[in-house]
């Protein structure tokens, strides 16, 4: 089983890496690039904690071979903040108390970010549908959904959040 050279643009940086055919994209991101934000929870497509963006589309990195991503643009949770400056979406998660244990958070953020890129002002139904592939065992989802909705619609009244306080 030979190693194969591939090129990935990870969070806007061009990277080269040699991978084995059976390396998943998740393993390469975590083990070769130390991008440990994306998590492996189930490893079989069910939970969504490994969600990353491939050419702007949210996909499961545990079920994507690294070789299949050759030449693609990859965005992980580490690519959301600008230096120390968190993105509006990340701030909103904090302000809404949408993070508890945090294990689902990278996947949630990446799925939500992909939605907001295409649809900056999504309604609640759209947010719920888009995040339906990401499982959270802590929050009960309400705060996560609020956080995403409020990022897109910052002028909305939102009794639970600390934005602007």
Ligand X SMILES: Cc1cc2nc3c(=O)[nH]c(=O)nc-3n(C[C@H](O)[C@H](O)[C@H](O)COP(=O)(O)OP(=O)(O)OC[C@H]3O[C@@H](n4cnc5c(N)ncnc54)[C@H](O)[C@@H]3O)c2cc1C
Nearer to ligand X, 47 or 149 (CB): 47
CA dist 47 and 8 (Å) reads: 25
Task: By CB under 6 A, name the one of 9, 20, 43, 91 that touches ligand FES.
Answer: 43
CA dist 74 and 62 (Å) reads: 14
Question: Does residue 42 belong to the site contacting ligand FES (CB under 6 A)?
Answer: yes
Task: By CB under 8 A, name the one of 3, 129, 137, 162 that touches other proteins.
Answer: 129
Q: Which two tokens stand for residue 3?
A: 């190693």
- Kindly report the backbone phi and psi dihedral angles of residue 73, in degrees, each rounded to the nearest multiple of 5, phi listed first: -90, 125
Question: Does residue 32 belong to the site contacting other proteins (CB under 8 A)?
Answer: no
Question: Does residue 132 belong to the site contacting ligand FES (CB under 6 A)?
Answer: no
Question: Does residue 21 belong to the site contacting ligand X (CB under 6 A)?
Answer: no
Question: Does residue 49 belong to the site contacting ligand FES (CB under 6 A)?
Answer: yes
DSSP per-residue codes, 15-45? EEEEE-TT-BHHHIIIIIS--TTS--SSSSS
SS (H, E, C) 64-130: CEHHHHCCCEEECHHHCCECCECCHHHHHHHHCCCCCCCCCHHHHHHHHHHHHHHCCCCCHHHHHHH
**94-113: contacts with ligand FES (CB under 6 A):** 99-104
Task: By CB under 6 A, name the one of 46, 81, 101, 132 that touches ligand X.
Answer: 46
Which residues contact other proteins (rule: CB under 8 A)?
A: 1, 4, 20-24, 27, 40, 43-46, 48, 51, 54, 57-60, 62-65, 67-68, 107, 111, 114, 129-130, 132-135
Which residues contact ligand X (rule: CB under 6 A)?
A: 45-46
């Amino acid at each position: 089983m030979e190693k194969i050279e591939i090129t990935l643009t990870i969070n806007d940086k061009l990277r080269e890496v040699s991978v084995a055919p059976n390396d998943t994209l998740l393993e390469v991101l975590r083990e070769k690039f130390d991008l440990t934000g994306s998590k492996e929870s189930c490893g079989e497509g069910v939970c969504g904690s490994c969600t990353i963006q491939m050419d702007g589309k949210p996909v499961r990195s545990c079920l994507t071979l690294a070789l299949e991503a050759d030449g693609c643009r990859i965005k992980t949770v580490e690519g959301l903040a600008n230096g120390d400056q968190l993105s509006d979406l990340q701030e909103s998660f904090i302000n809404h108390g949408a993070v508890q244990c945090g294990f689902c958070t990278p996947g949630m953020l990446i799925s939500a970010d992909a939605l907001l890129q295409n649809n900056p002002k999504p309604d609640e139904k759209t947010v719920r549908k888009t995040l339906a592939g990401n499982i959270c065992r802590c929050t009960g989802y309400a705060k996560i959904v609020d956080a995403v909705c409020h990022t897109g619609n910052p002028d909305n009244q939102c009794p639970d959040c600390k934005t602007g306080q």
